[in-house]
Structure 1
């Protein structure tokens, strides 16, 4: 779960440097919404086959 949270936070702008601590709710949410946009774009592109 920690790795998934950090991946989502990375999409939201979290750098993950050694002194940063853990990601916050805001970067998790920003990463999650960006992931949803990527998924919508992929679904739209698959419709152009």
Structure 2
């Protein structure tokens, strides 16, 4: 009984970690996209 509870807690922690990692990755990618877009616009304005 205790063993199964421990396994379920570990599963929940792994799922939470996966969602947090996914969220961080998505935010990082969106930040990169915004940065590259702003650099692109900046270069166009300089031309």
Q: TM-score range by the shorter chain?
A: 0.5 to 0.7
Q: Does 1:36 align with 2:32?
A: yes
Across the aligned residues of Structure 1 and Structure 2, the Cα RMSD in angstroms comes to 1.3
Is 1:26 aligned to residue 31 of structure 2?
no
Pick 1 or 2: higher relative contact order, CA cutoff 8 A, min separation 6. Answer: 1
Name the larger-Rg structure: 2
* Higher relative helix content: 2
The total of aligned residue pairs comes to 27
Structure 1: gaps of 5 or more residues: 1-22
Which aligned segments of 4 or more residues in structure 1 are displaced greater than 2 angstroms? none
TM-score if structure 1 supplies the norm length? 0.51
* Unaligned segments of structure 2, at least 5 residues: 1-18
